[in-house]
Structure 1
Amino acid sequence: MKELIINTLRSNEILSQIQTCIQGELLEVHGERVLTFNNKLGKGSLRTIAFDRGVSLFDCNITLAEEAKLIFISKDLSPIEFIFISEGYFTYSSNNMEDDTRIEQFQNTIIAHKRNAKKTFLFPKDKSLKISFIRIDRKAYLLKKNNNISRLNQFLISLFTDSEGETTFKHVGNYSLRIADEIKLLNNVDTTNGMLRSLSLEGRLYLILAMQLLEHKNFEENMNIPEVISKEDILKIHKLTTYILEHISDNIPISTLSSASGLSPKKLQLGFKILYSKTVNEYVRQLKLEISKDYLKNSDMSISEIVYAIGIKSRSYFSKIFFEAYGILPTEYRKHLKNKNSSLP
């Protein structure tokens, strides 16, 4: 097992200390620091991005050749960390908590530990790991104008205002595919313009942070995922969304989706309602519309070709639901896109 001792809580310094241990190439472009490695310890990349007022992103996409233990020992005030695993799992422990905690794929997690506490992350070997940490420096964040922490529940308010690090906090919450989808979009921001990329990343990051806080609120109010939806069911639904995307040009009945997922139609509908706040048909229609917007932006396909490509029954129906969703007809949307001064998304 590989052990890495980290004696800082600053994201950029963490990455530098990891690079000292595992080697690899560390580059900085447009405020993003990225460490890539491919050696006997494993392969992959780790990234840090710092935003204003103490908000930063630390994420990784790695596969390790041996178990690795990342141990943090620092006298500094710990950040509040909002953690989400898109692939894999890891085990978290702190010397002021009784039990080790296994954090699973798609599970929303929030942690903060006391000043001077030792925290440990144990990562498995031979497992693809995609993990995002949104880190909040409490003192810096409280200086943010309109931080609105007063709208949080009383315990989170006390956590954000704990300037001495006297409180230990661990929330291991519900599974959320909605957050998983937003993380995927965060990782797929591909504009090469530095300013546009930074703004897009920051906007996505704050949206994910809001969703993680909302999940915690729902969890505390006992609005949990019902017991009829298991972790295995959630994974099946997540896999089904890929199937839907691959067959987006087809009109797939619920019975076919039920067979493809191995879930009953009733459980399938319940799962989509819980995880996406949509019925299956609403989810599929929204996906078709989002894909149509991409075609209108990035292709020369005619409206009729786009309608066929996304499996909509008629051009008039497509125009109707597009207008209902976005407040503009597809033909007008494309005209506006040709105008360089257009501010449409």
Structure 2
Amino acid sequence: MDDFVPELAEQLEIGYQNELGEFSLQIPASLGNGHVYGINFPNGIGLYTYKCSFKEKTQFRICHPVVKPLRILYLLSGELTSQFHNSEHVQKLKHHQHLIAAPLDQETHIINFPANTEVNLTYLEVDRLKFQQYLSFDLHELEPVYYRIFNDVKAERRICQVGKFNMQTSEVLKKIKSSELEGFPRVTYLGGKTLEILSYMLYRFKKEDHEFFSNNIREKDLEAIEKAAKHIEENIAMAATVHDVAKVAGVNTNKLQTGFQALYGKTVNEYIRDVRLSKALNMLSSGRKNVSEVVYELGLSSRSYFSKIFKEKYGISPRKLLNGAQIQEIPSD
């Protein structure tokens, strides 16, 4: 969010700098010392770095009226706590720990800094809607673990997971902190390092997800769910019922629904709808099809219904997107 550092500066009643989209400010001596940097890239990923110490306990309350972000915090030194304002749970973060945090819609994410403690913090902030539009493929083509994380553009599921980050991530974070590059080379360097950090976390997601399902879902059932998902993708124009999909997968409807909820966080019908919308987003963004052609290709009979569900998910009508408008973040109800 490009307005984070400027708004923080306003709250602190100080100025800030903007160098090719990288915003920065210095903590005033009356409050402590240190700095905050922030930059957002066209793919919807932002990089924020803090190195600061406050004279008194200080609380940062982060909430955006329309962006539904996923944040991945990395604490290189010091300590802090994190919480969501609608939850009583307070998560303590110590040296060399990471926190994956995704607040619910309209929920404030609170980061508490202790007094007289230098905190060396970096976090990635992913605007999941913008990130999805940036991809050159349909979101449902991703593995289920990534689909569950990045498809939640309405922030319907809260995430709060703590762990230790590996040495590879630590080294990249240190390189970012110590970089003396300036201008455009710095911006491109930070963009590359941000993706490198994200790639390490995505690998971790996949590894932990595989371990969970290996221990909780039989291999045969997992294969059946994946077969069903592939059938839906390859036959999206055919209005298949849950019973039809279950028959193709070789399982009963209850097991199919349970499996889809576990693997994708969706019912079968919700997954079918999301596959259609993901394909529609890809086709309309590329300009390959007009709205009527997209509706036909997706196996829908009502253009008005398609426009309604598309706008509900992406915050823009199909026609406006086709005419070159950019997807805007979903407005709050």
TM-score category, normalised to shorter length? 0.5 to 0.7
Secondary structure, counterpart of 2:168 in structure 1: helix
* Equivalent position amino acid for 1:49 in 2: I
CA contact (8 A) 2:145 2:209 kept: no
CA displacement at 1:203 relative to structure 2 = 0.8
1:212 aligns with 2:212: no
Report the RMSD for the aligned CA atoms in angstroms.
2.2
Secondary structure, counterpart of 1:15 in structure 2: helix
CA displacement at 1:213 relative to structure 2 = 2.0
CA displacement at 1:89 relative to structure 2 = 1.7
Q: Can you give the 5+ residue segments of structure 1 that lack an aligned partner in the other structure?
A: 1-9, 224-345
CA displacement at 1:98 relative to structure 2 = 4.3
In structure 2, C-alpha distance between the alignment counterparts of 1:126 and 1:153, rounded to whole Å: 44
1:67 maps to which residue?
57
Q: Deviations over 1:300-344 (max 9, x none)?
A: xxxxxxxxxxxxxxxxxxxxxxxxxxxxxxxxxxxxxxxxxxxxx
CA contact (8 A) 1:173 1:215 kept: no
Q: Deviations over 1:173-223 (max 9, x none)?
A: 23423211110111222223x222221111111001111222333344459
CA 1:174–1:98: 2 relative to 1, 3 Å: same
CA contact (8 A) 1:86 1:130 kept: yes
Q: Deviations over 1:21-46 (max 9, x none)?
A: 22343111122111012322111111
TM-score (norm 2): 0.59
Q: Deviations over 1:244-302 (max 9, x none)?
A: xxxxxxxxxxxxxxxxxxxxxxxxxxxxxxxxxxxxxxxxxxxxxxxxxxxxxxxxxxx
2:39 maps to which residue?
49
Q: Can you give the 5+ residue segments of structure 2 that lack an aligned partner in the other structure?
A: 213-333
1:198 aligns with 2:191: no
CA 1:163–1:145: 2 relative to 1, 3 Å: closer
CA contact (8 A) 2:85 2:108 kept: yes
CA contact (8 A) 2:145 2:205 kept: no
Q: Deviations over 1:125-162 (max 9, x none)?
A: 11111111111111111111336855755344123112
In structure 1, C-alpha distance between the alignment counterparts of 2:116 and 2:211, rounded to whole Å: 36
In structure 2, C-alpha distance between the alignment counterparts of 1:73 and 1:199, rounded to whole Å: 28
2:96 maps to which residue?
106
Q: Kindly report which structure 2 residues correspond to 1:7-156, keeping only aligned pairs within 5 A, or say none.
A: 10=1, 12-146=2-136, 150=140, 153-156=143-146
CA 1:147–1:40: 2 relative to 1, 3 Å: farther
CA 1:69–1:204: 2 relative to 1, 3 Å: same
CA 1:60–1:198: 2 relative to 1, 3 Å: same
CA contact (8 A) 2:76 2:96 kept: yes
Of structures 1 and 2, the one with the larger relative CO (CA 8 A, separation 6+) is: 2
CA 1:153–1:68: 2 relative to 1, 3 Å: farther
Percent of aligned pairs with the same amino acid: 18
Tell me how many residue pairs correspond in the alignment.
Answer: 212
CA contact (8 A) 2:68 2:154 kept: no
